[in-house]
Each structure stands twice: as structure tokens, then as C-alpha cells.
Structure 1
Amino acid sequence: IDTDTLTVTVYNIAPTILPVSDRVVDEDKIYSYSWSFTDPGILDWHTASINWGDGTIEPGIVSELNGDGIVSKNHLYVHPGFYTVTIIVFDKDGGVDTASLIVEVLDITPPISTLTIQPPYQGTEEPFFVSTATEFVLSAEDGDGLGVALIKYRIDDGVEIIHTGDFLTFTIPEKGFHTIYYYSIDVVGNVEEENSMEVIVNAAELTYTGEISGTYSDPVSLEANLIDIAWQLPIPGKIIEFTIGSQTVYAITDSNGIASFTLILDQPGGLYTISASFAEDGEYLGSSDSCEFTIEKEHVYASYTGSTIVPTTVDTITLRATVFDEIDGYLGDLTKIKVTFSIYSVPMDPLNPIEVYGPYLVEITEVDGVGVVIVDIPSLSENGYLVQISFKTEDNDYYQGPDSDLVTLTVYEPSGDFVTGGGWIWDPSGSKGNFGFNVKYKKNGLPKGQAIYVYRAGDWEYIIKSNAWEGMAIDELENWSFFEAKCVVQQYNSKTGELIWSEGNYKFRIDVWDKNKDGENDVFQIRVYDKIGLICHEAGFEPYGILQGGNIVIHLDKNE
């Protein structure tokens, strides 16, 4: 067998990338890319590299079988434009093939518009407060896009304004609540979603700064401040309406934007609302403000000026209240006042008067601020009584006042020698000391009658009432009389009517001088002794007991 040897050289054939096609993709989206290749060397294995043209170079993913393969990879382009993509395939023996294609990345992102407000304006959130002079700046940016073509805006449902370019300014010439709608379009037709901003043009803010309480018939200061919200400046020359209940007045704002008015309150006491309002005009929107307002009842007081000594021979007793408005320089309508007379027996039960008359309306007098109520009531039986005037809350909507001091009312039977008196002196406590008495001798030579003395110390009312007579003397030459009796002393709270304390078996001595006959003032003195004989109260000494009102009469039976 013959043998021969020859050498066979096998050359590597490089892989071949099959034809590739250009691509069109959107920006900011991930796409899958793949390219096919073939290689006669079915036993070869391959690698690949991809240059995406945007600065990214990375290996491709190769899948192959029997000489046929695919190079694949996912990629995202951030920016629109045209990119050259280069694919390189390598076999294990160094064979190489290269292919290129163009990827067009489309601009699909709309531009972004920004609306900014130039001063003057106020607010950190919508709606913003602006002026007709406020300038709005509307701008747009297209980022990596090809540029802004148009900016569009409209006010409310008005005509849409189209502006070529990426920047413009405008103002809003009409006051009111407005909505600005705006958007932009880039050169490739991407349309931005419509934006909006709410604004209020030429808004005014009115703030009530006046008093929030007052008293019937007295002045109250009403005041409000009006400002331009955008400018934060006062608005002068505007009419402001103030209303409390049924009273409405007007004032004009000054250079500081302040409107003020001094109003005399002419409404019942109670809780009200004070409102200040500015009506919309050709320049500004309207504004208002309100708060609670309290009207207090005016203070008033009364003195009993009616009968204090009455014989049993008359049919009626005249009760009279003299009413005084508070001395504050402003007088109300006294005819709106109603007074009630209460008559008490002694010892006194402050919660249970024996007679109540009223309420009666006050009548005006010739003296400003002074009113009067006069009423005749049926006569009472012989005794000593106490009279008090009150302003019942339920009867008086406009006025309030304390109960008057208790005043003695003496009803006596005139016969023989006797002494009567009624009126008041200054008590050492600083209050009025009201007294009333009727003392005479019975046929058996013993005195009879009644005597009452009343004074106030702080919130306490003290009542001293005779209950057992011990003696009486009359000095005709000196026009002087004195009498002594056991008595009951009561203390009660003048505000609540609560009886605090009551004690019997006390004693008093009263000395009186009927000086009117000599053209002088009558005099009254009293000393009160407790159960062990100590003086517990005295009046008419310091200060001296000259009558400030009323009279004392020593009656002498000339037939004796």
C-alpha cells in the first residue's frame, strides 16, 4: 500500500451581520433591539459589542446555534435626536463584522410653563391677592426638546391669547375673582396640559377695631380699618356702614383708611352683633367684618320722696319715687323706666312685703335727668312700715339700678299730746339714716306707738323697730321730746334680700327737737343698747342729727 501526505489549510471566515434597518423611537422609553448574523463555522462561538451613539458602549447578548446567531439588547434614549448605532460581532478566531444604523429619538415631552406674580401681591397659596397694576410673567421651557413654539393663556372664559415665543407679561385690568388658564406648545407639536391660577384683583379688607360694648344712652366709638390687600396700604375716601341691631350709621375712611363714628346707643340692653361693611364700588371689591357687641343697661337710682307720716284720718297715702339718671353727661329716656314700690311690716321679712304696687312708668320732670312716679294707695292701719323702691329686671330693658334705701312710713292716730316724725339724717356709717315714729300716751298714762330707724353699712341693711314702750316725755319750753322702748334689731343683705340676723330685747332712746317753730332745723338722735346695756349703735351725735329731709312735730293738746 502506498501512502502520501498533503497539507490542508482551513481559513477562518468572519461572521456576517445580516442587513440592519434604521429605527424611530420615543425618548425616555426602553426599547428592545436585535440583529441577526451568520457564520459558516458552525462550531464557532461569538461575542458582540454595541455602541449606542449616546456615549454608551456595552456588550450585546449573543444567542446562536449551528452558525446562526442573534445579538440583542434593551436601551433607553434620554434625549431626542439622531444617533448612529454600531454593532460589532467577533468569532472565536478573530473574525469581525460591523454594521451601523440610525436611530431617530423623537421629542414627545411637552414644554413646561411657569406663571409668576410680580409685586404687589399677597398670599402663599391660591387665591392670590393682586392689583390691577400687578404684572404676571408667563414663561415656558422645553428642556432637551427642540424649543417652545407658542404660549397660550386666557382669563376666565375670555378670548385665548396666543404668543409666539417662550416669554410674555400681562396684567388683569378688571377687579374681581379670576382664573388664569395657560399652557405652551413646542416646535414638534407637543402640547402641555392646561394649568390654572386663581387670583382676586383689587380686594379690600375691612377690620372692625372699635368698642365691643356700651351702655344705653351713652356714646360708643365705632371704628373700622380699610386696606388694599395687595398693596397692604390704607384706602381713603370710602363709605363704611356700621350696624348694631336697629341702628345704622355711616362714616368715610380718612387718609389712614380709618372710618369712625360716635354713636349714642338707643336700644335695650342685651347681646348684639356689630357689623362694619364696605360695599363694592368701581375700584374695589366689597368687604365686611363683625363681632359680638354687648349693650349694658344704663344705671339709675331712686329715692323715696313720698309720705312718711300719715294720720289714720286720711283715705290714701301718696307714694312717690324720684328717679335719677346716672350723671355721666348723657341722658336717656327716663319714661322707659318702670319702678315698683314694696311695703314691709316691722320686724321685716325682706322676701315677703305686705303690699307691692307697680310697676309704674316714670314721668319726666322739668329737671333734666330726673323723673318721678306718684301713686296714691289705700291708707294703712296705725303702725310703722318700711317702703322700698326697686327696678325689677323683668320690667326694665333699658335701665338697671339698686333698690332704694328703706324709708320709714308711720301711720298714726292723732289724739292728745303726741310726737310724730319722719325723714333722714346722716348716719355715722356714711349712709342715710331713715327714721319714722309716732308716740303718744294712752289713757292709762303709758306711751304707745311705733318707731323705726334704718341705716346701711356696706351690703348690710340694719332695721331697728320698737316693740315695747317704756316711757315718753315732752318739754314744751324746749320743744323737745324723748322716748324709750325695747326693740328688735335686724340685719339683712340688701342685694339678695337674705335675712342674716335678728335679735330682740335690745333697747333704744330717741331724742327729738321740733325746731321748725323757731325757724331752725329739726334734730333727731338715737342710741341703741344691747341686752347687757352696751351701746351698739348711735346716730345724730357725730355728725349732729340735723334733718336732711322730713320733719318732726310735737303735737300739744291745747284743750288740756
Structure 2
Amino acid sequence: MAVDGVDVTTRCFYVGASSASCTYGPLEPGAHLVEASVSDNAGNSTAVSKTFNLNNTLPRIVSISPSGWTSGASPLVTIEVTDPETGIEPDSLQMWNSPDNNVPPLDGCVTTVISATSASLSCQLPAQPEGPVNLYFHAHSRTASVVWNLTGMIKVDTQAPAISNVTPAGWVGSGVYSISAEYADPAPGLMSSVSASIDAGPALYPCSVAAGRISCNYLSGIAEGPHTLTIVARDAAGNITTSTTSFGIDLTPPVITGISPAGLIDGGPVTVAASLADAGSGINPATARVRLDGALLEGCAIASGSVSCPAGEPAPGAHSIEVSVVDNVGRGASAAGSFTVESNPPPVVAAAGDVSVVEGSQAVNGIAASDPDGDELILTASVGQLASDGAGGWVWTCSPADGPGDSGTVTITADDGRGGSAAAGFELTVVNAAPVAGAISAPVDPQLSGTTAAASATFTDAGTDDAHAAVWDWGDGTTSAATVVEAAGSGTASGSHAYTSAGVYTVSLTVIDGDGGSAFRSFKYVVVYDPEAGFVTGGGWIDSPAGAYASDPFLAGKASFGFVSRYRKGANVPTGQTEFQFKAGSLNFHSSTYEWLVVAGSKAKYKGSGAINGAGDYGFMLTAIDGTAENGGDRFRIRIWDRASGAVVYDNQAGAPDDADAATALGGGSIVIHKG
């Protein structure tokens, strides 16, 4: 055996009966000749030769893309591998993102033959964490059977830089600025580029980036007014951040105008005021100061556009004002003003005296007022109204609605319009007016015992603010509160009552206002009958007293009577006859109809109508007492009147109320109350 003509037989050894292996080297890369011969035991021999090329250069990575930092979390990675001697076997290229060989290689990769000695592999990585990412590759040459392991790296950065604390911001008071900001990035120190511009103008240079800070010097002045600062930062991975900040340039101090008061003014309370303006950063209200005659005023109302301070009542004479303020970039301004207070004597005002009035009526008082220097006066009243009396004075009027609630002191104030004023007072006494009750509406027809009778009445009150209560007295010893409905002091009182006994009842109503005033009204009569209570009969005579016969009050003498009055079964109107004769007066009365009959114990009363001497229309009411029951003797009364005029013709108890008991004793005869 010989290699390149060098005998290497001594380095050979047999492997079995039919092969041999020889070792020789190292050889230089390039072409080499191997010659071998073999002889058997019979002397036969054979010789062969073969030429081969030795390749000592391993596959290597030419490039990895993306190189450096990438902004994609799942980047497409391309690796180019070359073997300059024998070339790369394209199908042998594989990529991992893990050093673990037990993990399958990335799939979906694309292999591209670049040249006879180079090939590339492109693989889409799954999502990767921020920072450096190691990659692992396998490849072998076309003439080799050994797989070579290769490694590479990419760097992932998906987050844009963060820019903060940009200056200038807000309003500033200078035209030369150093623009700065702070930045932070997941790949520190790898800021690629920074630019800054104002109002979308050209980029400002020079700019520098170091230790987390961005600085861009701008040495020229910028016009007054609002501006926009834009900073654009790009990191090594290509992530871009744009920061926009508003700022303004204010080189002009505030302006103070409209200082008041100014010139000649009247005496009285004064408010010092001024208008404040700043076209740039605006007024700082907290810095506004106002001085009157050198003294700082307190209690000022300060806003961005004005200042107003109460200054009391400056004395007559000249006064100075100084106003100062600072804007929001620290520039200050001040302005001065002055005014003179003219001497102004106050007016004189007086009332004629105190006033007393009933509520609901008009109160009147005379007011005298004058001004020493002839100023026109304006008069006001704390209560009521004022009007000129046409003769240089004033008339005060008022219509109080509630007494004594509206009583009090009335103050009249005179103002001369120049800060001079005067006041005078007088006492107003408002007297309560009692309410007035109207006629009572109640049943005029007789009411059956046990049924309910309703009554109502209206009332008024001059005191329109008064509230009212009312009480019904039903005439049978019982009372009840009325239901009151009212508005503005007037209303209606109503109620109802069930009478349990027959009788003739006077119903009365008392209305009371909230101040103790009251009104009383009565109704005559509510007649309650009971058909089961019995009936009355009588006959006899009485001595008619003087004053009984209206036509001749001095006439007296014997008068005779006879009557019967009863309810027929089921009837609600009584029947019977009544006759009364007073011969001395040629009076002969005879009944024609009855309206009602009331029998209560030993007393009976009934009402009806009839004629005198056979003519006319007369009403009558007869009251009788059966003296047997009371051991006092029978008693009789009859009252007769003209129904058209209401004039009384005869009454033997003249002047007594209709519900009074009979008081005239019989001279003869009897009166009997029949039961059942």
C-alpha cells in the first residue's frame, strides 16, 4: 500500500481474511493517490489505484438575519451557511430555538440554494421573550456524512421607548431653552435616533442621548404665544415613540386697567376695583394686591380677570389707589389711580306718628323727607308702599292681613343716591278683626226624632291670614266641632246631629279665629217631632195682659181658647183645630193648617197658620203646659203674626223668645197632654 508514492504497508493490518486497513497522515487538503497490490499463495497478484480530494473546511454561518435587535416578537430568521470546498447539502439544514436535541426542529422552514457552496434556511420563530434569543442549527457538506452543529443569536425588543418629564412644559418666561426629557427602553443604551421639533418645524440640533436623558439645545428665541414641542425617539429595534408637549412663551407683563373709583365721588361705602389681563400665561390671582392710601385692603374678591375690594367709607378728600399683580411666569405689573370724596350731608326723614289699624283695612301715615344740599331722594319702606303726596311729602300705605301678627316697627329709609342715607321708624299696631258668620242653613221642615239634621253657615274674616275653628250647639245640651273649609280667611262651617227627643231647638254656631276673635249665629228653630209621644187638647180662658194686642198695647181683658193637635197614624203633619178669641180687641183667630207638633213630657208646642175674623194669612205658634204633671197649674201662650210682613198681631208673652215656656196661667178650663 502506498499514498502519494509513500509505502505505508507497515501501517496496515488485516481485518478478517479478505480486507485490510491502513493508517497514514495527516494529509494536506487537496488531491491524493492511493495505490494497493495483493498476492496470493500461488504467486498471483493484483494492483489497483484511486485518487481522492481531502476537505478539511467545516460548514460555517455566513450571516443571520435579523442581526442585532428586532422589534418582532415572532421574527422570520434567515441563516446563510457555506462550505467553500464541497458545498452545503441543502436538505441537511435545520433550526432549533432550544439546545435540547430531543426537541423537534422548527417546521415550516424554507431552504434556498444560493450557490454551489452556500444555502440559506428561513424559519418563522414562535413568540419569544424580550432580550437575547439563542438559536441552534445543523448542517453538513455535500461530501461529508458528519452533521455539524452551529449556533447563532438574535435580540428581541418589542417595546417602544418611554418618554417623560419633557421640558419646557406649560408657560415659560424666556426665549432661550434647553429642551430635555427622560427616556426608558427595555434595551438600555440602544437608542438609535432622537429628533425634536417645535410647531411641526425642522428638527432641532444638536441632540444627545445619554444615561436615560435626551437633550436638544436650541439657542434662538421663539415667538411669544403657545407652541407644541414634538420629540420622536427610535430605538435599535426600530420601535418609535412620539411625545407631544404644549408650552407657551410669555415675555410680556400683565396689564392693569379700569381702576375705580376715579375722579370726584360722593361719600359713602366704596369698593376699589380693577381689571387684570395677561395675554400669555394669565394672571396669578393669589398675587393681586390693592392698597388704598398705602394700606393693604382685605377681603378682596380676586379672579383671573378682576379684583374688587371693600374699602369702607373713606373720609372726604383725596385718596390714592395702587394695584399690583404677577402673571404665571413671574412677571409683575402695577398701576396707580386716585379719587376724591366730596362732602355729602345725609338727608332727613321723619314719620307723622305711630299707626293702629284693624286687619284687612288700609293703614296710612305721612312721611316728611328732605336733603340739605337738594339731592333727589329715593324713599323705601320695610313694610307697605310709599307714594308722593303731590305737595313735597310722601304717603305710606299698607293693608295688613293679620293682627296682631303683622304688628311691628316700620322703617322708612331716604337715600340721596350719593351715599347719604337716613332712616326713621314708627310702630304699626294691627288689631284683630273678629270673623263674621252668615245665616245658618238648617232644616225648616220638622224632623222625625232619631233622624240626622245637617246645618252649615259661611263666614268671612278681614284677616285673610287667619285660620278658624267653629263649634255647633245643637240646643239639646250637646255640642260638636264643625268641619271648616276655608281659604284666605273665609269659608264654610258644617255639621250634623241626630236628635233623640222631640222638641223645638235653637241651633247656634260660634266661629273663632286664631287670634281669639269670634262670631255667633243662631237658627230658630229645628223642630223635632215624635208621632208616638202623644197629643194635646185644651180649652178655657186667660186674662190677656196689656201689651199683648199690638194694635192697642193698653188693651187688656179676657181671652178664650180651644184647641186640639195630634198626629194621625203614619202622618208627618199634625191635624186639629185651634181657635182664639180676644173680644176686647175684636180678634177671632181660627186655624186652617198645622205644620208641626212637638210633645215632650208635660209640654206641647205646635205651629200653623189661619185667619183673623175670617180673612188674611196669619201664622201662629201655641205653647201649652199640662200643669197637672208639674203641680204648677196649666199655662198657655199663643203668638200670632202677619205672614206677609212678619208683624206680630198678638202675643200674651210679648218679647219672650219663641222657645220660652208658657207663663200665663189659665183663668179657667184645662190643658191635657195625652200619651200615645
- Shorter-chain TM-score category? 0.3 to 0.5
Q: TM-score normalized by structure 1?
A: 0.36
Point out which structure has higher relative CO (alpha carbons under 8 A, 6+ apart): 1
Q: TM-score normalized by structure 2?
A: 0.31
